[in-house]
Structure 1
Amino acid sequence: MIVVMKRGASQKDIDHMISQVESLGLKANVLHGTERTVIAAIGDERVNGVQSLESSPGVDSVMPVLAPYKMASREAHDCTSVVKAGSLTVGGASVGVIAGPCSVEDEEQIVASARAVKAAGATALRGGAFKPRTSPYSFQGLKEEGLKMLATARDETGLAVVTEVIAPEDVDLVGEYADVLQIGARNMQNYRLLEACGRSHRAVLLKRGPSATLDEMLLAAEYILDGGNSQVMLCERGVRTFESHTRFTLPLATVPYLHEKTHLPVVVDPSHGTGHTSLVTDMAKASVAAGADGLIIEVHPCPEKAKSDGYQSMTFDQFDAMMKACRRVAEAVDRTM
């Protein structure tokens, strides 16, 4: 951490700041410049009280050097982590693909989807049993019945199940049926839910909030890691901007940036990121080219009859074509699918 003193700061102000830095368990290294004095605080700066130093007399600014997240950062773990959950592996040389409908609607629909996406090369099945919706009148999911249907689809195909959990009290129930707990964008900063998932033995897919910074996303992941669960995947699903031509704006620079900052694998959701089926294939290919460790894609037997997100869901044939296109891109960047 670097503490920059104001021009003309008195020796009393400097001595006070040295005392404050040392009271936090850090070593103060004072550098006297021609115009300003700078105090380099050496040690683990991620302690309580650091930010309050900026309110001290004579201080111009306080600049952290270390990332605020300890366990998620590459400072703690240099190699990219690999998350394994049943048939799904995310973070290795192969790009993991999670595919299926937005919502579980009935057993025939979810089993047919599981068979189709597996045949096309998907390595996990997605499907919502609990659906947080903007409108209280929209389809809210089949709850535990939907979870049972997902388990049936897993028994039929061997695909790992990825499904959303929306409340801390539901973590154990969803964990009985799912291989991966998905934390949706709306719940990225639901800290009680993050803590509950941190106590779970199930892998977690953490989606970025629509208005969240990447630091906020990584700090949300830190809650899960700090709870003892190291099986965490990050998911870029687009952010809200002034643009209206897509449902959200999908910033793929997120992928290499996160790879620089964290060891956690990064999944991209081009379905939510665009909101238009016609755009999903190209953004999926771009995601693979950018280095994504996984994709999560909405696929439905008949999108026009889907109870949720049909406008961004692929048919089985469209998904199969997308997978073939993505494999060619993956090969070009030394990955497999």
Structure 2
Amino acid sequence: MSEVTMIIVMSPDSGPAEIEAVVLRLHEAGCEAHVSRGNLRTVIGAIGDREAVTSMPWEAMAGVERAVPVLSEFRFVSREFQPEDTIVDVGGVPVGGNSLTLIAGPCAVESRDQLFRSAEAVAKAGATVLRGDAFKPRTSPYSFQGLGEEGLLLLAEAREEFGMPFVAEALDPRDVELIAGYADVIRVGTRNMANFTLLTELGRQP
């Protein structure tokens, strides 16, 4: 059985019953349904056997606007699957769409005083999200390596004090769960964009 995807776009006025009918039809055919609800319309990703998916008269079903076969490897981030811009809620701050989000703060959290002075300064400058890292590997093993969990605790304290959610970088898969327990967003640096062990662990986070 070959895995394929068809994008079923529901009309803006389609209701829950019509969406559920499409999902049920997919399940009856032994296919999976990935439902994405946007502001204007709902899109259903149909994943299953090519013949089973393409042979069905989707556009004849009530509430279906169109059905588009998608062969792209990156189908879930395609405009066919999600025509609207993605807006991510970061602790109450929207990131994406037409708004500009300023994220600023110290490279490394070194002390409470340093972090709080930085947070106050960037907040006055218009930043709405604080950045700061608790784990900072250096070329020399004798150099400052970051405060670890103590730094995350300080960032959480600054979040409450200045009303700014914070992002922190993860460098080691073993630290991901710890950082996720404090940070609003986990940041991936340029050098780790090909660190697939780290990326896989990040993908497991809720």
- Answer yes or no: same fold by TM over 0.5: yes
SS in 2 for 1:146: helix
Asked if 2 retains the 8 angstrom alpha-carbon contact of 1:87 and 1:159, the reply is no
User: Which residue does the alignment assign to 2:146?
Assistant: 141
1:73 Cα deviation from its structure 2 partner: 2.6
Task: Tell me the alpha carbon deviations over residues 183-226 of structure 1, each in whole angstroms, 9 at most, x when there is no partner.
Answer: 1112112222212212223xxxxxxxxxxxxxxxxxxxxxxxxx
Please, what is the CA RMSD of the aligned residues? 2.4
Asked if 2 retains the 8 angstrom alpha-carbon contact of 1:87 and 1:158, the reply is no
Amino acid at match of 1:166: L
Task: Tell me the alpha carbon deviations over residues 5-32 of structure 1, each in whole angstroms, 9 at most, x when there is no partner.
Answer: xxxxxxxxxxxxxxxxxx9578xxxxxx
**1:109 partnered with 2:134:** no
User: Which residue does the alignment assign to 1:185?
Assistant: 190
Amino acid at match of 1:96: T
Change (3 A) 1:114 1:72: same
Unaligned stretches of 5+ in structure 2?
Answer: 5-46, 48-69
Change (3 A) 1:133 1:70: farther
User: Which residue does the alignment assign to 2:90?
Assistant: 85
1:128 Cα deviation from its structure 2 partner: 0.9
Change (3 A) 1:128 1:78: same
1:145 Cα deviation from its structure 2 partner: 0.8
- Counterpart-to-counterpart distance in 2, 1:96 and 1:109: 23
Change (3 A) 1:113 1:78: same
**1:158 partnered with 2:163:** yes
1:66 Cα deviation from its structure 2 partner: 4.8
Task: Tell me the alpha carbon deviations over residues 209-246 of structure 1, each in whole angstroms, 9 at most, x when there is no partner.
Answer: xxxxxxxxxxxxxxxxxxxxxxxxxxxxxxxxxxxxxx
Structure with more of its chain in strand, by fraction? 2
- Counterpart-to-counterpart distance in 1, 2:176 and 2:3: 38
Amino acid at match of 2:147: L
Change (3 A) 1:72 1:150: same
Asked if 2 retains the 8 angstrom alpha-carbon contact of 1:164 and 1:181, the reply is yes
- Counterpart-to-counterpart distance in 2, 1:93 and 1:120: 20
- Number of equivalent positions: 143
User: Which residue does the alignment assign to 2:173?
Assistant: 168
User: Which residue does the alignment assign to 1:128?
Assistant: 133
Amino acid at match of 2:85: T
Amino acid at match of 1:149: L
Higher relative contact order (CA 8 A, sep 6+): 1
Structure with more of its chain in helix, by fraction? 1
SS in 1 for 2:85: coil
- Counterpart-to-counterpart distance in 1, 2:133 and 2:106: 8
Fraction of identical pairs, as percent: 51
- Counterpart-to-counterpart distance in 2, 1:129 and 1:83: 23
Residue from 104, 112, 127 that aligns with 1:99 = 104
- Counterpart-to-counterpart distance in 2, 1:186 and 1:25: 33
Unaligned stretches of 5+ in structure 1?
Answer: 1-22, 27-43, 45-64, 202-337
User: Which residue does the alignment assign to 1:251?
Assistant: none
